A and B are shown apart, each in its own frame.
Chain A
């Protein structure tokens, strides 16, 4: 039997505006760019809602209605949900409708889509708690399976998450952690007792997410019957095919005219043509299958870039500097008890800020450039560090007045 497990990541950061040295001490609104640039959060959210969220949700709702056993799962960052509440309530409603079918699982993550696990386990736990509350409030459910920012994962994270009560955790099925083993089984993270690990099948996931419209690809064009035939090949030598990807794949990364929505629309019926196939949520996969062996992942792995490591956020001196600087403020910011200050500080922990500062391959114009709303990684760093200076002044001021 081969089960397909879809998990879609839905996230938008609060991008920092073009914030200059001269603004420090004078302007404490960091995320309110209202220009035509791609750092205008409201503009981006509405654009992506129109191209991706609303049409993709409509297709999923149609599929859920048509196929009584069809299932998918989502992980929403808290900062994304906040932006929906503020800029696009109708999109939030359409997600709520999906979850209300009872066949759409919602996963847990850090509210601020942060790298907090690496820098501050305490802050990490607080952000998971905030996320859990937000999901409960908006969707009426409590997540049982955890996924960390950008699928950043190691043994220590699995242990921590197990302690927090989760039954499952999700990671990248990277070659260098799997070796000869297959991502189509469940594993037991080293050093844990009960939690189960689901690994992304990156070949089949990336066939949809990255290669779908690539004319240089030998398997172009990708059709639903073709993809179903690949899934069928797993039958007999695997339990579950984990298809994990950014939700923006549908309509934003792969535009509508590539046929991506039609692919999605027809995939379930093609999968169901094989009587042994079905769709599961991560929780169902965990209930149904036992781990085949223990998996030892000492170093951090992620789903980013070819390296599948932390280098997208942590490879140059600026990125290290920025991350250390923001976490250095933890004590003072938390102690202030100032809600706005704490929220601003946390928004500045979102991983995207550090991704924008990445200089790896920058001159080759690859995805880092494509996904960078700033002209250069240096401008991203400049705006960020200036904002952090202002935040530090605010924290000092509060500390001295207390």
Chain B
């Protein structure tokens, strides 16, 4: 079987879980003897050569790059800002025009290649998937890593984005959701019938985290505890709940450092909030980290917190566990469906969050038991399982459309 896949840049050049997921899934599919033609935007400074190196021995994965400044999580405003950096006039005026231009280029690729299934990741590539379907007549599977409702926290949903998501899902032959949580969102907000949606949870491959450097040792020498937030600083990820919980924790224990790894449109607001609460000296904004830098922070932390308002899956808690640190996760997340050995809170329940943070810092046996059990549990949450489910789903879709 051969898959035409519309995906995004791979780690360590990625800017979030979407790239990690595209990489993990593609590698696992190749290991199961599935050929993948991987199409991605050629971003400035980042090309697919790294990925080509990774897959050097895998003749089953072939890359196509399309010149475009599209990147995951981009918003209309970001796009215009990005575009203005370049003098070249090939890019669309607006994000939506650029997505359409990308889709037309995808169409050219689809015309030349042979494949059985089209698989597109997240809304920015959905139109490309649809063009490929039109020109090839092959079935289209859309992979929902997030909906517009997750990204906006349900406030200020962009109508055009919503329309693309909905009409694409209506046109597609099948939909993969990264969790039951996301499946429910798609049914409720987009009116897609339940039977059309298959849940495939993300995973983690522990061999990718084999040697993690030890850093921040100076900080830890003085017995200071570290509580970590890692993710985009956007409304979806709930950074303000993390800051408020920090304030509450610090009222009881001042020897704690709250580490914020990430960037995003709420970064400045969060810094001001920390200052307003008088806890700036206990909150460290480290900016966007990736690769070993991020892994080292995971490892140094005593607890990782995912306070997301709406998290379709959430790979970061799995990365934290594999790096040696237990997790506290929002109940409003897909990862909580597969992870039982985690502390869980409603994202808005700052009191409960602070209570649990304090207890992990106070009771070492809680921290140890939590981590050891979760470390055991995530062995079952891997990309091989996810790829097997995808292949079964491809077969099912092929049968349904009569190929």
Contact = CB atoms under 8 A, between A and B. Distances in A.
Given A20-B351, A378-B366, A363 B340 contact: yes
A322 to B, nearest CB: 8
A21 B252 contact: yes
Given A363-B340, A386-B359, A320 B366 contact: no
Interface in B242-288: 252
B66 interface: no
B355 A378 contact: no
B24 to A, nearest CB: 22
Interface in B340-373: 340-341, 343-344, 351-352, 354-356, 358-359, 362-363, 365-366, 368-370, 373
Interface in A288-319: 316-318
A363 B355 contact: no
A382 B366 CA distance: 8
B356 A382 contact: yes
B377 interface: yes
A20 B377 CA distance: 27
Contacts of B362: 21, 385
Interface in A375-392: 375-376, 378-379, 381-382, 385-386
B355 A20 contact: yes
Given A21-B355, A21-B359, A386-B359, A376 B344 contact: yes
A362 interface: yes
A127 interface: no
B370 A382 contact: no
A174 to B, nearest CB: 27
Contacts of A375: 344
Interface in A345-402: 359, 362-363, 375-376, 378-379, 381-382, 385-386
A180 interface: no
Interface in A1-40: 20-22
Contacts of A90: none
Contact of B340 (A21, A22, A376): A376
A381 B351 contact: no
Of listed B369, B370, B373, residue having the most chain A CB within 10 A? B369
Contact of A382 (B252, B351, B354, B359): B359
A321 B358 CA distance: 17
Contacts of B365: 316-318, 320-321, 381
B363 A321 contact: yes
A321 B252 CA distance: 22
Contacts of A363: 340-341, 377
Nearest to B326: A378
A21 B359 CA distance: 7
Interface in B224-255: 252
Contacts of B343: 376, 378-379
A376 B344 CA distance: 9
A362 B373 contact: yes
Contacts of A318: 363, 365-366, 369
Contact of A22 (B341, B344, B355, B369): B355
Interface string B187-205: 0000000000000000000
A362 B341 CA distance: 8
Give the interface residue-count category, chain A: 10 to 19
A22 B354 CA distance: 9
Contacts of A379: 343
B327 to A, nearest CB: 11
A321 B343 CA distance: 19
A317 B369 CA distance: 6
Contacts of B377: 363
Contacts of B355: 20-22, 382, 386
Contacts of A21: 252, 354-355, 358-359, 362
A41 to B, nearest CB: 22
A20 B368 CA distance: 20
Contacts of A22: 252, 351, 354-355
B370 A378 contact: yes
B368 A317 contact: yes
B374 to A, nearest CB: 10
A375 B352 CA distance: 13
Contacts of A359: 341, 369, 373
Contacts of A378: 341, 343, 366, 369-370
A388 to B, nearest CB: 10
A21 B340 CA distance: 23
A379 B369 CA distance: 12
Nearest to A369: B340
Contacts of B351: 20, 22
A385 B359 contact: yes
Interface in A68-110: none
B316 to A, nearest CB: 20
Contacts of B354: 21-22
Contacts of B370: 378
Contacts of A20: 351-352, 355
B331 to A, nearest CB: 10
Nearest to A360: B373
A320 to B, nearest CB: 7
A102 to B, nearest CB: 49
B340 A362 contact: yes
A320 B366 CA distance: 11
B25 to A, nearest CB: 24
Contacts of A320: 365
A381 B359 CA distance: 9
A18 to B, nearest CB: 9
Nearest to A315: B369
A362 to B, nearest CB: 6
A138 B351 CA distance: 44
Interface string B368-398: 1110010001000000000000000000000
Contacts of B369: 316-318, 359, 378, 381
Contacts of B252: 21-22
A290 to B, nearest CB: 47
A136 to B, nearest CB: 40
Contacts of A382: 355-356, 359, 363, 366
Of listed B252, B351, B373, residue having the most chain A CB within 10 A? B373
Given A21-B355, A21-B358, A359-B369, A381 B363 contact: yes
A22 B351 CA distance: 9
B348 to A, nearest CB: 16
Contact of B363 (A316, A362, A376, A385): A385
A63 to B, nearest CB: 43
9 contacts: A20-B351, A21-B252, A22-B351, A318-B363, A321-B365, A359-B373, A376-B344, A378-B369, A386-B359
Given A376-B341, A378-B366, A385-B366, 10 more contacts: A20-B355, A21-B355, A22-B252, A22-B354, A318-B363, A362-B373, A376-B340, A378-B369, A382-B356, A382-B366
6 closest cross-chain pairs (CB), A and B? A321-B365, A317-B365, A20-B355, A363-B340, A21-B358, A382-B359
